[in-house]
Chains A and B, each alone.
Chain A
Amino acid sequence: MSYGRIEALRQVSLHVHEGEIVALLGANGAGKTTTLRAISGLIKPQQGDILFDGSSLLASPAHRIVGQGIAQCPEGRRVFPTLTVEENLRLGAYLHRKDKEWVQEGQGKVWELFPRLHERRFQLAGTLSGGEQQMLAIARALMARPRLLLLDEPSLGLAPLLVQEIFRTIRAINAQGVTILLVEQNARLALKIAHRAYVLATGRVAVSGDAADLANDEKLRKAYLGAAPACS
């Protein structure tokens, strides 16, 4: 996987099983975002394959991959700031825009999960707080009713209390049967809710295994993840 002549990923092999939460960890620039963008089809690898349900995603353009059941909540939220909360959500269900019931049902679930968004549904997304924007970004991805949800650093820039809340929500989404691939800097928290984890270093998988095992591996933590943040 390369950007022009810069090779960003090399022989990364990872598996996500149905129903799991898998954490994808690694330092800045390790290639986590690149991995998610490749799965979503925004960039296409020169070599290798990406399989979903046994069939290759390589031939599908990004806008079709959502329709196959993979939604991404991108790094930095990327909500559409000059659109309202409701318009952002409607676009999350863009492929089902003709199906009014689908959209309404999806919105109903979003209001349950994030009541705060309901109060603000006619507000421009750009005027939401960072935490609310993160909720909106996750909610927007959920509007597509994905079977696999790709989350890229959902805790970025949020206060510790809100981070806890977002992680609880991620667990709740998973409990409803959505498989999750979670990219995180906050390794400690990510390993707490994940079943398994991969650690990327300079474009390769350095370590992989059960989240619980990795969480207790002092050496690993020092080598790849930096000191874990001290929050309870």
Chain B
Amino acid sequence: MELFLEQLVNGLTVGSVYSLVALGYTMVYGVMRLINFAHGELFMLGSYFGFTLLVSTNIGALGAGWGLIVIVLMAAGAMALLGILVERVAYAPLRESGRLAPVVSALGVSIFLQNAAMLIWGSRYRAYPVWAALDRRWQVGGVHITLMQVIILGVSIVLMLLLYFIIQRTTLGAAIRATAIDQDTARLMGIDVNAIIRFIFIIGPALGAVAGVMVGLYYRQIHFTMGWTYSLKAFTAAIMGGIGNIPGAMVGGMLLGILEMLGAGYISAAWKDVFVFIILIALLILRPTGLLGERVAEKV
């Protein structure tokens, strides 16, 4: 039982990271029918950017609370800018070119960004500095919980609730949903589809960057290839929730994190990535519309 609860906590923690990254995938897919393979690299760059801020500036001197907030906000802002730039350079010119060209372009951007990170930060693991104030842990009924876990879960849930509110309750959110359904008719309403796409490319990478910084603080080690691993898992989470489905991505990420950690706890930690990809393959074969059973490719 203790092992179960412990793995549940671990699962929720990584799961909320998968959710945050999965949202970027699913929103872009929803509006553009594009799997944005470059998204994982923005998550990775967000993590490195936060790392650089931590080791080369004295933002840390603000104390753990404010320091963390400033670093997360700066990383989110920087990745939002980079997200817009990527969209502008790699996707906007291909708007009328069918569906294959943007995917190839996304793969190109992904390789480019990964190599850029390697050239800037080197190919070895980099270690996030230890932040003593964040290094706290408790025992609740025999289960270990760290402060970082609480922060990750708390921040993720708040951000997801905020996003859910924007998408479901505001006129901007209705415009985003309308654009995902039918771009031409959205245009007839006066909706600037390009502005909606830009907005998606601000929100997705910003959430990814927040996740990236938190992963750095949680696992301490970051690597220029981490974008790939996390993005494949986030992609699995997005498929689980039904790609294009925003609440689905939130739920899918959590579920995947829990499954992965239970697998690691009860079967073998070394095989946890394998479980995830077995899940991905099984989903793609058995339930490509996601567990929540909603649209995918309904409009091709």
Q: Is B185 an interface residue (CB 8 A)?
A: yes
Contacting pair B174 A82 (CB below 8 A): no
Q: How far is the CA of A64 from the CA of B181 in the complex (A)?
A: 20
Candidate in A40, A62, A83, A144 with the most chain B CB atoms within 10 angstroms: A62
Closest chain-A Cβ to B179's Cβ sits at a distance in Å of 10
Contacting pair A91 B187 (CB below 8 A): no
Q: Which residue of B lies closest to A71 (CB)?
A: B188
- Residues of B within 8 Å of A40, CB to CB, are 187-188
Q: How far is the CA of A214 from the CA of B190 in the complex (A)?
A: 36
Contacting pair A66 B171 (CB below 8 A): no
Q: Which residue of B lies closest to A42 (CB)?
A: B184
Question: Please, what's the 1-or-0 string for A167-193, where 1 marks a CB less than 8 Å from any CB in chain B?
Answer: 000000000000000000000000000
Q: How far is the CA of A80 from the CA of B175 in the complex (A)?
A: 10
Contacting pair A66 B174 (CB below 8 A): no
- Residues of B within 8 Å of A67, CB to CB, are 190
Q: How far is the CA of A116 from the CA of B177 in the complex (A)?
A: 25
- Beyond A63-B187, A63-B191, A66-B189, whether A94 also contacts B181 by CB under 8 A is no
Q: Which residue of B lies closest to A144 (CB)?
A: B190
Q: How far is the CA of A74 from the CA of B185 in the complex (A)?
A: 8
Contacting pair B185 A66 (CB below 8 A): no
Q: Which of A85-106 contact B (CB under 8 A)?
A: 87, 90-92, 94-95, 97
Contacting pair A42 B190 (CB below 8 A): no
Q: How far is the CA of A82 from the CA of B189 in the complex (A)?
A: 16
Q: How far is the CA of A91 from the CA of B188 in the complex (A)?
A: 10
Q: Is A17 an interface residue (CB 8 A)?
A: no
Count B interface residues, CB 8 Å: 17
Q: Which residue of B lies closest to A70 (CB)?
A: B188
State the total of A-B contacts with C-beta under 8 angstroms.
64
- Residues of B within 8 Å of A71, CB to CB, are 188
- Residues of A within 8 Å of B185, CB to CB, are 74, 78, 80
- Residues of B within 8 Å of A141, CB to CB, are 188
Q: How far is the CA of A66 from the CA of B181 in the complex (A)?
A: 19
- Residues of A within 8 Å of B192, CB to CB, are 61, 63
- Residues of B within 8 Å of A140, CB to CB, are 189
Q: Which residue of A lies closest to B177 (CB)?
A: A83
- Residues of B within 8 Å of A78, CB to CB, are 182, 184-185
- Residues of B within 8 Å of A83, CB to CB, are 174, 177-178, 181
Question: Please, what's the 1-or-0 string for A68-81, where 1 marks a CB less than 8 Å from any CB in chain B?
Answer: 00011010001011
Contacting pair B193 A91 (CB below 8 A): no
Q: When the two chains form the complex, which single residue of A41, A81, A87, A91 contacts B191, counting CB atoms closer than 8 Å?
A: A91
Contacting pair B177 A42 (CB below 8 A): no
Q: A83-B174, A91-B171, A144-B190 are in contact. List 9 more A-B contacts (CB 8 A).
A: A40-B188, A61-B187, A61-B192, A78-B182, A83-B178, A94-B175, A94-B189, A94-B190, A144-B189
Q: List 19 A-B contacts (CB under 8 A).
A: A41-B187, A63-B187, A63-B189, A63-B192, A66-B188, A66-B189, A78-B182, A78-B185, A80-B177, A83-B174, A87-B174, A90-B171, A91-B174, A91-B178, A92-B189, A95-B190, A141-B188, A144-B189, A144-B190
Interface residues of B (CB under 8 A from A): 171, 174-175, 177-178, 181-182, 184-193
Sorted nearest first, the 8 A-B pairs with minimum C-beta distance are A62-B187, A66-B190, A95-B190, A78-B185, A94-B190, A87-B174, A97-B171, A91-B189
